[in-house]
Amino acid sequence: MRASWDEYFMEIAELVKTRSTCLRRNVGALIVKDNRIISTGYNGPPSGIDHCEDLGGCYREMLHVPSGERHELCRALHAEQNAIIQAAKFGVSTEGGTLYVTHQPCIICAKMIINSGIKKVIYGNPYPDEAAMKMLTDAHIEMIPFNTNDK
């Protein structure tokens, strides 16, 4: 049976996350317009910066920071951030796009998603950040949980 567009793009997001070097959670994202991928991103440090595994571990883990808190301590960019940044770097508009992401966005990513003009987010796994969900829905971003069991 042929995959739906959402299934197709979520499978690609799952593949994109295999490039992640995060020691806590691997996340993949892609931005799509008119059923065409315009950008991808995964979580990891900025280009040319050492990865946590090269530095002996995750700083947030060492400090026992709970998931969803103290994002500023992380040396990595989130997958959503990297997808938006890559589109900007190469001059591709994200206005009206759909973001496919393996995990629900955090509050920092929510702000970037809103200002980038993305109109819909299809996400796989939940994330402990109710404020992000409220902000995204307040901004009229369509939030769609993707359940692989619904295929």
80 is catalytic: yes
- 3-class secondary structure for 15-83? HHHHHCCCCCCCCEEEEEECCEEEEEEECECCCCCCCHHHHCCCHHHHCCCCCCCCHHHCCCECHHHHH
Closest C-alpha among 39, 43, 64 to residue 52? 43
- Among residues 80, 95, 130, 142, the one annotated as catalytic is 80
Which residues, at least 6 apart from 59, have a Cβ–Cβ distance to it below 8 Å? Answer: 52, 73, 74, 75
**122 DSSP β-pair partners:** 100, 144
The residues annotated as belonging to the active site are 80
